[in-house]
Amino acid sequence: MPFYVSPEQSMRDKADYARKGIARGRSCVALQYAGGILLVAPNPSSALHKISEIYDRIGFAAVGRYNEYENLRKAGVTYADITGYQFDRHDVTARGIANWYAQTLGTIFTESPKPFEVEIVVAEVGTRPADDQIYRITFDGSVTDEPGFVAFGGQADQVSAELKERYSDDMSLSEAFTAALAALSTPVNGERPEFTAAQLEVAILDRARDHRTFRRIRAARLEELLAEARPAPAEPPADDSGTSSSGSAPGTPGASGPSDPSSPSSPGNSEPPTGPAPGGSDRGTGMGGGPPSSPSSPL
C-alpha cells in the first residue's frame, strides 16, 4: 500500500522539481520596440529552436526541456490552425493560445506524477504598439500579462532587473537588441557570459509586414547588431615622435619656422618628412565597413 502524501506536499514537491529544472537553462528575453517585438535566446544549437512561429502575427518562445515544449509548440500550431479554419483568422489571438496553454499545463501539473519543466512566452504584434501582447505561462498553468518586456527561465530575476533599467518605449531594433544582450550578459556566479552570433537565436515580429510577421535574424545582420551593441575599441594615441614639426619649440632642431641667423643652417632641417608618422594610421576599426546586408528571408 503506498504511503500517504498530503496534496500540499505533493504540489510543493512538483513545483520545486519544475523550478530546479527550468533554472538549469539560460534565460530568454522578449521585449517591444518601435517596429514590433524582439525575441532573443542564447542557443548554441542550429537545429533545436527555442523561438518559433505559431500563427500569422504570433510568436512562441520557451525554455526548459526541449522535447516537452516542442510538443506544446506543435499542439499550439494545430490549435491555431483549427481555430482559424473553423472560424476566422482574426479569431486566433495570443490571449486565446495562452489560455489554452495554461489549461494544458495546469492539467499536466495536477494529474501527472511529473510536471513539465517548461516556461512559455506567447507574443502577438499588433498594428500599433498599444495592441502588442506578451503572455508568460509557467509550468503550473499560471498566466501573466507582461507589458513591455519579460525575462523567463534561468536567472530570470537578475536578467529582468537589468532589463528594467535599460528598457524604454519606442526603442529602435538596435537599441532593443543592445538592451537584451546586456541583460542576458548579467554576471552569473561572478562570471559575465560573452555571446557570439553562433550562440544566439534572434527573431522579430515585424509590425510592417502584412501577413506573416515572424522573421529570423541570422548571419550578417546579426553580426551588425552585435557590432552595434558592443562599444568600439579605443584608437591608440598618436606617437609624439611622429607629430608634425610645426609644433616644436622655436630654436630647437626640426622647427619649421625661420632658422636663427646666429646658428648655422643645417641641410637636414629643411628636408621634407620621408613618410607617415609612426602610429598615425588613419585606418578605421573595420566595424562599419561595407554596405549593410539584407535581412534573411522569412520562414
Greater model confidence, 171 or 246: 171
Percentage of residues in the chain having pLDDT higher than 90: 64
What pLDDT was estimated at residue 286?
38
Strands (E) in the chain, as ranges, are 28-33, 36-42, 51-55, 58-64, 118-124, 133-137, 143-145, 149-152, 200-206, 214-217
What pLDDT was estimated at residue 268?
44
Greater model confidence, 248 or 19: 19
C-alpha cell at 56: 500569422
Cβ atoms within 10 Å, residue 239: 11
Contact (CB, 8 A) for 150 and 1: no
pLDDT tier at 235, thresholds 50, 70, 90: low
Report pLDDT digits (tens) over 92-119.
Answer: 999 999 999 999 999 999 999 999 999 9
Checking if the pLDDT of 254 tops 70, the result is no
Report pLDDT digits (tens) over 256-283.
Answer: 444 444 444 444 444 444 344 444 433 3
What is the secondary structure of 236-297 as a DSSP string?
PPPPGGGS-GGGSPTTSTT--SPPPTTSPP-GGGGSPP-SPPTT------SSS-SPPPPPPP
Q: In which order are the strands placed within the sheet that holds 51-55?
A: 51-55, 58-64, 118-124, 133-137, 143-145
What pLDDT was estimated at residue 97?
97
pLDDT tier at 50, thresholds 50, 70, 90: very high
pLDDT tier at 190, thresholds 50, 70, 90: low
pLDDT tier at 179, thresholds 50, 70, 90: very high
Checking if the pLDDT of 18 tops 50, the result is yes
Distance CA 176, CA 45 (A): 23
What 8-state DSSP symbol labels residue 191?
A: B
The whole-model pTM stands at 0.76
Buried b (16+ CB within 10 A) or exposed e, 134-164: bbbbbbbbebeebeebbbbbbbbeebbebbe
> Which residues are within 8 A (CB) of 249 and not within 5 positions of it... i.e. 6 or more apart?
255
What pLDDT was estimated at residue 272?
41
Greater model confidence, 286 or 158: 158
Mean of the pLDDT values across residues 10-34?
94
Distance CA 39, CA 226 (A): 15
Mean of the pLDDT values across residues 124-149?
95
Long-range contacts of 4-8 (CB under 8 A, 24+ apart): none
Checking if the pLDDT of 11 tops 50, the result is yes
Mean of the pLDDT values across residues 145-164?
93
Compute the CA torsion angle 228, 197, 118, 31 (nearest 10 deg).
20
Distance CA 110, CA 121 (A): 21
Checking if the pLDDT of 198 tops 60, the result is yes
Kind of pairing, strands 58-64 and 51-55? antiparallel
What pLDDT was estimated at residue 91?
93
What pLDDT was estimated at residue 261?
44
Q: State the chain's mean pLDDT as an integer.
A: 82
Percentage of residues in the chain having pLDDT higher than 70: 76
C-alpha cell at 241: 615622435
pLDDT tier at 194, thresholds 50, 70, 90: confident
